[in-house]
Structure 1
Amino acid sequence: MRKNSIKNTRVNTEVLRELSNIIRNEIKDPRIHPMTSVMAVEVAPDLKTCKAYISVLGNQEAQEETMVGLKSAESYVRRQLARNLNLRNTPEIRFLLDQSIEYGVHMSKLIDEVAKKDASGTEIEE
């Protein structure tokens, strides 16, 4: 199975949906922040491993605590995933912190600051 095959794309979508449901509804760990979402999932073509990119809306401490909580719940999440999905192999899940949204917000703020300085500061002479 190629990396971008239709089957792999479908498996990625199903795993993403199930992981989101499991994290949102079934894990009761208080370390996991309520505003945690699964941004993307990459299942290996052999269905042995899975990288789940997690985004946490909160400060650095909340992000770290959420990642610790998810790492401790890996076996439970894998068991629930095996129960809910009919796959030949249930992938071993690795949770990775995705900070792309936070980076985008930071860059947007920087652009707004530069635009504000440019508008209120000196005008561009031609």
Structure 2
Amino acid sequence: MIRINEEIKKELSDIIRQDLKDPRINQTMVSVLNVDTTNDLKYCKIYISIMGDEEQKQGVIDGLKSASGFIRREIARRINLRNTPELIFKMDDSIEYGIRLSKLIHDVNSNTEDDSQ
């Protein structure tokens, strides 16, 4: 399953980057963070991170959901699986959360250095 998940993740990243023409998706930076496929290959949860405001995030999710048939067909063509799973896109804000924490730590450190001088 780990190998299948990694292969789906690689192909999905390639499809999003090169093959999708939806302007909602191409305007923002979209990263595929994790793929979790069920053992029976019926469903595949795809965790994605999107840099942008809430409106852009919702637009990307809507664009991916509307293109899920095309994406599923492309994955079936590129990867030889018994069943091609149904794709479920989930938002993952961990990258934005990490960036925000890093910025807060940097701000605290710079304020501490300013106070000590």
TM-score, length basis structure 1: 0.84
Q: State the alpha-carbon separation in 2 of the partners of residues 9 and 45 from structure 1.
A: 11
- Do residues 28 (structure 1) and 21 (structure 2) align? yes
Match of 1:13 among 6, 13, 19: 6
For 2:23, what is the secondary structure of its paired residue?
coil
Instruction: Give the Å deviation of 1:122.
Output: 5.4
Instruction: After TM superposition, list the pairs within 5 Å mapping 1:1-126 onto structure 2.
Output: 8-32=1-25, 33-121=27-115
Q: Which amino acid aligns with 2:110?
A: K
Q: Which moved more, 1:67-76 or 1:32-41?
A: 32-41
5+ residue gaps, structure 1, are 1-7
Instruction: Give the Å deviation of 1:34.
Output: 4.5
Structure (1/2) with the larger helix percentage? 2
4+ residue runs over 4 A deviation = none
Q: How many residues align?
A: 116
Q: Tell me how large the CA RMSD over aligned residues is.
A: 1.5
5+ residue gaps, structure 2, are none
Q: State the alpha-carbon separation in 1 of the partners of residues 28 and 96 from structure 2.
A: 17
User: Percent of aligned pairs with the same residue?
Assistant: 48
